[in-house]
Amino acid sequence: MNKAPVLTGITTTGTPHLGNYVGAIRPAILASKDPNVTPFYFLADYHALIKCQEPERVRQSSLEIAATWLALGLDTTNAVFYRQSDVPEILELNWMLSCVAAKGLMNRAHAYKAAVAENEQDQSADADKGITMGLFSYPVLMAADILLFKAQKVPVGKDQIQHIEMARDIAARFNHIYGEHFVLPEALVEVNGATLAGLDGRKMSKSYHNTIPLFEPEKKLKKLINKIVTNSLLPGEPKDPESCTLFSIYQAFATPAEVEIIRQHYAAGIAWGEMKNNLFEYINQHIAPARERYEALMQTPEHIEAELQKGAQKARALSVPFIQQLRAAVGIAKLSR
Ligand code: TRP
């Protein structure tokens, strides 16, 4: 019963939206049912502090994300579902790794480089203006998240591949110095995950303010879908599904046969109002059962907390002995029995 550990973290700064759902949450929950893997899914609340200094938002986001994953049927008997801050060994490992990670490697991290480039663009006297040590060393924290649980596969978006490569690098360096303690992780870029367009047609993303929250109440969901930007073709005029945001969202939810029917409606000149209505009806009925569970969970945070504590216990059963082994390896130990 040697199950492969698969691990991914969710930064707790926002409210889960339809793009998160089709791109990351849905495939992760599907994967959590695979009997050959042990999924480690965690709320990356220490990572949240890098981007967000609003305590209430970090707390609320943790609650919403945990409720979302549970409402969508995450199997927490197979998966280890925990909060990063409940596993203090992560921070301890973060320091051990900081002491082997090359600073030059961190200089090349794209989040840091983008921040520097922005300062240079603004002709700021200080290229590091506004850049915290948290942002700079964030790939080390991510390496600690991954290496502590010996994750072999790490499902992530394309923007995170570099961080997984850095985690490999740091792990190899540690192993070279102290012996073979870490498994070298690999990025798993989701093949089932789709990128969804948002209200304005650009990629649905919190930073573009164009998202549709996954569990928006019915009325609000309808309103938001009505706001999706389309072209100005009139009813009866044939329309191109491929360039249409409504169609792309529909496609991420519906079966191929259902998509084919909608494609024919486009050719026949379906009115935008009617298509928006179709889309609303489809998504609404698709998520209604999970939304009901979500709303119930949000009213009973003690159930969510209990799940997270159960997850932390499972995680720490692994991380506590492993950090002892690592302490011994680096020479941090009691001087006598
Ligand atoms: N940095 C990741 C993101 O922004 C979240 C994350 C934190 C993560 N720790 C991780 C992902 C470890 C995978 C593995 O998406």
Alpha carbon of residue 221 to chain centroid: 22
Averaged pLDDT, 184-197: 83
Per-chain mean pLDDT for the chain: 95
Residue from 112, 158, 163, 206 whose mutation best tests the ligand 1 pocket (most atoms within 8 A of CB)? 163
Atom of ligand 1 nearest to the CA of 138: 1
CATH at 47: 3.40.50.620
* Ligand 1 site, residue 90, Cβ cutoff 6 A: no
* Residues 147 and 33 placed together within one structural domain of the fold: yes
Say whether pLDDT at 41 is over 90: yes
**Within a domain: residue 89?**
yes
Atom of ligand 1 nearest to the CA of 10: 5
Atom of ligand 1 nearest to the CA of 157: 15
Whole-number pLDDT of residue 191: 66
How many angstroms does the Cα of residue 51 sit away from the middle of ligand 1? 13
Which tokens in the block code for residue 324? 């002892």
| pTM of the predicted structure, to 2 decimals | 0.94
Averaged pLDDT, 166-195: 91
* Residues 190 and 220 placed together within one structural domain of the fold: no
**Within a domain: residue 320?**
no
* Ligand 1 site, residue 167, Cβ cutoff 6 A: no
Q: Whose CA is nearest to atom 11 of ligand 1?
A: 9
**Long-range contacts of range 326-333, CB-CB < 8 Å, 24 or more positions apart?**
326/93, 326/96, 326/178, 326/181, 329/178, 329/179, 329/181, 330/96, 330/178
* Residues 36 and 166 placed together within one structural domain of the fold: yes
Q: Whose CA is nearest to atom 6 of ligand 1?
A: 9
Averaged pLDDT, 300-311: 98
* Ligand 1 site, residue 170, Cβ cutoff 6 A: no
Residue from 142, 148, 188 whose mutation best tests the ligand 1 pocket (most atoms within 8 A of CB)? 142
* Ligand 1 site, residue 145, Cβ cutoff 6 A: yes
- Give the structural domain span for 153: 4-101+137-195
Q: At 157, is the pLDDT very low, low, confident or very high (cuts 50, 70, 90)?
A: confident
CATH at 224: 1.10.240.10
* Residues 148 and 38 placed together within one structural domain of the fold: yes
- Counting the structural domains of the chain, the total is 2
How many angstroms does the Cα of residue 112 sit away from the middle of ligand 1? 15
Which residue in this structure is represented by tokens 């939304």? 291
* Ligand 1 site, residue 142, Cβ cutoff 6 A: yes
Q: For residue range 214-262, list pLDDT tens digits in order.
A: 999 999 999 999 999 999 999 999 999 999 999 999 999 999 999 999 9
Whole-number pLDDT of residue 261: 97
* Residues 252 and 190 placed together within one structural domain of the fold: no
* Residues 271 and 145 placed together within one structural domain of the fold: no
* Residues 95 and 62 placed together within one structural domain of the fold: yes
How many angstroms does the Cα of residue 254 sit away from the middle of ligand 1? 29
How many angstroms does the Cα of residue 11 sit away from the middle of ligand 1? 7
**In the chain, % of residues over pLDDT 90:** 93
As a dihedral over the C-alpha atoms of residue 42, residue 43, residue 49, residue 54, rounded to 10 degrees, the angle is 180
Pair 24, 190: CB distance under 8 Å: yes
Cα radius of gyration rounded to whole Å, the chain = 22
Whole-number pLDDT of residue 1: 58
How many angstroms does the Cα of residue 9 sit away from the middle of ligand 1? 4
